Structure 1
Amino acid sequence: MSSTNLYLNISKEQWPIIYRKEYNVNFMGLEKLHPFDAHKWKNVYKFLNEEGLINEKTVVVPNEATKEDLLMVHSKRYLKKLNCSLYVAKIAEVFALVVVPNCLVQSAYLRPMRFQTGGSILAGKLALDRGWAINIGGGFHHCCATKGGGFCAYADITLLVKFLFFHFPRKVRRVLIVDLDAHQGNGYERDFKGKSNVYIMDVFNKWIYPWDTEAKKAIRKKVELDFFVSDESYLKVVKRNLTEALAEFDPQIMIYNAGTDILKGDKLGGMSISEKGIIKRDELVFREAISRSIPIVMLTSGGYLKKTAKVIADSIVHLYKEGLIHGPQEYYF
């Protein structure tokens, strides 16, 4: 594929923060059957807007990933499977979708996921341009080239990396993926198993989904945690392992899967990190990247509590106040 409409050039007045209202899932109420807050992304944008950080003119609005874009990673066979409501119901973990016509499944669930996937791919380019980029969405780390799962229908992390390799072969030859979602990122791990130019650091609760032993073989810095990990021990282990990863591997870009399902009270994550702990975690990762002039992409990934959106927004505001991300015309490169 020689060209794509996903790589937009943005104005100096815009932040490399990516969002559009079509990210949000609306299934005539059926989305409430899933523990995921289907409007999390809208709420993150709302809080950032209320803080005066971004608005309609300064946020970046991505395009939808097309079939041709998706074929960079996915097979035609896999994409055809998504035309079956039963198959999508298993991925989304909302089994009532089995009786929903696929045209509605496409418009209400898969189309928002394609927009978020487009946002993740665009974030790679913007990070190279500006030094950092945040997609208020994406991070579908349970989907690989041939199989979806865990609410993840498209392999946006694999696509993000493959697009960078294809379109920027001189700038990007080595990628570091730092996955701090509570769950193992088995999707892209399966896609990059045996690839020396992609270094994977994954810190996850070893007792929860997806229990993918085969995918673990791709992880070069693996940290398996127990239930109810607290702030102090968690932050210490993240910092130590990230420092070691950066000593072992010299990446030209960092993909940060910043799941907030580590938050205390999140039943699917099973960990006990406080809101302040998540903010400190994000600061730690950005500080390690920025101090080394490594462009960084942040994806918001999992997080299943209503207050998650506010935590994400507060963390992004904190990154700005700490000087780790910069507004329009405030570049550090």
Structure 2
Amino acid sequence: MLAFHSDAHSLALPPGHRFPQSKYRLLREHFEREPGLLRMQPAPAASEGELALVHTPDYMAAVLQGTLSAAQQREIGFPWSESMAERSRRSVGASIAAARAALAEGVAANMAGGTHHAYADKGSGFCVFNDVAVAARLMQAEWARAHRSRLQVAVIDLDVHQGNGTAAIFRDDDSVFTFSMHGARNFPFRKEPSDLDVDLPDGCGDADYLAALDDALVEVRRRCEPGLAFYLAGADPHEGDRLGRLKLTYAGLAERDRRVLTALRERGIPVALSMAGGYGVDLATTVAVQVTTLNLAAESWLAWRLSARGTG
């Protein structure tokens, strides 16, 4: 399975900053030691034209040219640097590359991404550009040129925080179905309405979470027939997460991933994953969750390939 990484471009963060950027390097290094079914590639940078499919010209220019105001930088949570801008472009490029690969091979992944708090005209909550939104728009444009038909997209957002930026970008757009399952009392405290929102109470554990997920996947199936899905497989519902407030175990999160991947594969829906959030008290717990997610995705990719070979 193809997986795209962008951790070579680091953020110039002050000591003690809450954002655990080293998790991306640790994840890549794990798969360098134990690649399994993964074929890792460095992510390309998204072009300005690609970013403009979602983001406003003024906001793009402020990020790329380094003119973000102090207030804008505070809302994003990162100080501006050339590396921050390049990292943000490559995070989007990774989701674009993963989406193309998913359409060709069934499953692919961005080893970062899931920057769902970014709006068209601003960043927020450690999110600069909205990688999934840009990739969705670009895949729709490429599909329309190649097939002269519309590509329906589904966004399955299981980060513990609601995907407010994605919901706002695709508001009133029936070509993209947005589903977010998240902590009711967690950031963002002002939610944007998705097509389907499932709010979870603090302390929600494996059984209640998986029951809610099963019901939601039935509803997604009833309301949407996508040709491509984006899955934000956040590690932050884990019980050891600093910011999550839920109580899922490793086993519960693995079962979450299996159910999503199986539901999509059984319907023949290609899926591009992104890792989204993860803020473990012990960062090794976040990386371990993400390793499992990627290995399960690779198993699903292999099942896609074997199925295609058997019917070819």
Residue pair 2:257, 2:296 contacting (<8 A) in 1 also: no
Matches of 2:239 and 2:179 in 1, distance apart? 22
Aligned pairs (5 A) from 1:75-224: 75-82=56-63, 83-84=66-67, 86-87=70-71, 89-94=73-78, 97=79, 102=80, 105-107=81-83, 109-169=84-144, 170=147, 173-213=151-191, 215-216=192-193, 219-224=194-199
Equivalent in the alignment of 1:46: 29
Residue pair 2:45, 2:91 contacting (<8 A) in 1 also: yes
TM-score, reference length from structure 1: 0.84
Residue pair 2:6, 2:112 contacting (<8 A) in 1 also: no
Distance 1:210 1:317, change over 3 A: same
**SS across alignment from 2:187:** coil
Equivalent in the alignment of 1:16: 2
1:25 alignment partner AA? S
Distance 1:144 1:220, change over 3 A: same
- The Cα offsets for residues 31-86 of structure 1, whole Å up to 9 and x where unpaired, read as x433221021121122223223267xx32222111223212221211123332352
Matches of 2:99 and 2:73 in 1, distance apart? 30
Equivalent in the alignment of 2:266: 291
Residue pair 1:91, 1:153 contacting (<8 A) in 2 also: no
Residue pair 2:152, 2:226 contacting (<8 A) in 1 also: yes
Query: Identity, % of aligned pairs?
Result: 24
For the pair 1:226 / 2:201, whether they are aligned, the reply is yes
Matches of 1:76 and 1:248 in 2, distance apart? 33
Equivalent in the alignment of 1:35: 18
Residue pair 1:174, 1:251 contacting (<8 A) in 2 also: yes
Equivalent in the alignment of 1:3: none
Matches of 2:30 and 2:130 in 1, distance apart? 28
Residue pair 1:165, 1:173 contacting (<8 A) in 2 also: yes
Please report how far the alpha carbon of residue 317 of structure 1 lies from its aligned counterpart in structure 2 after TM superposition: 2.0
Unaligned runs of at least 5 residues, structure 1 = 1-14
Please report how far the alpha carbon of residue 319 of structure 1 lies from its aligned counterpart in structure 2 after TM superposition: 4.2
Unaligned runs of at least 5 residues, structure 2 = none
Distance 1:87 1:308, change over 3 A: same
Equivalent in the alignment of 1:309: 287
Residue pair 1:131, 1:332 contacting (<8 A) in 2 also: no
Matches of 1:233 and 1:185 in 2, distance apart? 21
**Equivalenced residues, count:** 299
TM-score, reference length from structure 2: 0.89
2:170 alignment partner AA? F
